[in-house]
Amino acid sequence: EVQLQASGGGLVQAGGSLRLSCATSGFTLDDYPIGWFRQAPGKEREGVACMSPFDGTIHYADSVKGRFTISNNNTKNTVYLQMNSLKAEDTAVYYCAAEGPCAVEAGRLIVDMDYWGKGTLVTVSS
């Protein structure tokens, strides 16, 4: 059974940092593309960052480029999202998800993954 569990969210002041973790089971990180997505209140879910094991592709949303970094630890089957220079507009529930395209369409990351974990709330105070 494929499972993903995001953790590491919390309350942070603007300009601060957080590192989210996504613990996975039921597959290896070599099997599927995996990514981070977020949904703010009243807004659609959007892609933040994704990585593909097939060709090494990594994509970031324009709004987080230079501030967020996605990485993985294959030994631990865990994916991370290091978030620096956080802004109030980064406030959202963050989800990790796997098996789907890690690609950009019309300037935005495609949100079309098959497996989703429960989210973790990130609140950035201004």
Maximum Cα interatomic distance, the chain, rounded to a whole number of Å: 40
**28-59 tens-digit pLDDT:** 999 999 999 999 999 999 999 999 999 999 99
**62-121 tens-digit pLDDT:** 999 999 999 999 999 999 999 999 999 999 999 999 999 999 999 999 999 999 999 999
Euclidean distance between CA atoms 41 and 61, whole angstroms: 18
Euclidean distance between CA atoms 30 and 99, whole angstroms: 11
Q: Token pair of 12, please?
A: 């942070």
